[in-house]
Chains A and B, each alone.
Chain A
Amino acid sequence: AQSVTQLDSQVPVFEEAPVELRCNYSSSVSVYLFWYVQYPNQGLQLLLKYLSGSTLVKGINGFEAEFNKSQTSFHLRKPSVHISDTAEYFCAVSESGYDYKLSFGAGTTVTVRA
């Protein structure tokens, strides 16, 4: 069974500064990786995903992530954040199997300040 660890629960950052959110997973089979964002009082929406191919994936709103199989990581980055990026970010892993169940990390709250 897979598990997902988001290494930072809270990340405060100034506007226009870069941000990196760290995600590590454990699994013994092939995995598929996702980052979701939850804006205040809203549901989750997909930022980006890795299913196969290039390990550097680009998503919406200028975010990107890199799949590192040897380090079992899928860190999320943005070179310059905006106030509107204030949200909770969830890393999720789907493991090969019957239902490709999605397992979530505990979430990282990003607060962008002017």
Chain B
Amino acid sequence: EAQVTQNPRYLITVTGKKLTVTCSQNMNHEYMSWYRQDPGLGLRQIYYSMNVEVTDKGDVPEGYKVSRKEKRNFPLILESPSPNQTSLYFCASRWDSALPDTQYFGPGTRLTVL
């Protein structure tokens, strides 16, 4: 089944404890992206990747890191999480980086930072 998977789905952690949220897609998509969803703000892009080893900042990149060593994986890293990073996170992918088209979303990761 074609899909975007994220792990974990739920995570409660404490301020300053490094964490990684994994994202994997099995559709051979070039483009991958991370979003955070907050009430009343919709989804905001954190980072995106046009292809392997090509990543760039989105609208709200502060406090986050990403890497794209393989085409299928795009992990999101929080080196020192803070309470304002409590949010619902979505990974998404798209077939072609150079064309506008449907993005496919993962199921989401709900993160709480205490």
Total A-B Cβ pairs within 8 A: 54
Bin chain B's interface residue count.
20 to 34
* Contact (Cβ within 8 A) A43 B50: no
Q: What CA separation (Å) do A104 and B56 show in the bound complex? A: 19
Known contacts A46-B102, A51-B101; decide if A99 and B48 are in contact (CB<8 Å).
yes
Tell me whether B43 and A100 are in contact (CB under 8 A).
no
Give complex CA distance A100, B102 in Å. Answer: 11
Q: B43 near A104 (CB under 8 angstroms)?
A: yes
Q: Are A101 and B105 in contact (CB-based, < 8 A)?
A: no
B97 at the interface (CB under 8 A from A): yes
Query: Is the beta-carbon distance between A99 and B56 smaller than 8 angstroms?
Result: yes
* CB-based contact A107/B107 at 8 Å: no
Chain B positions within 8 Å of A94 at CB level: 100
Which A residues are closer than 8 A to B by beta carbons? 4, 6, 9, 32, 34, 36, 42-46, 49, 51, 90, 94, 96, 99-107
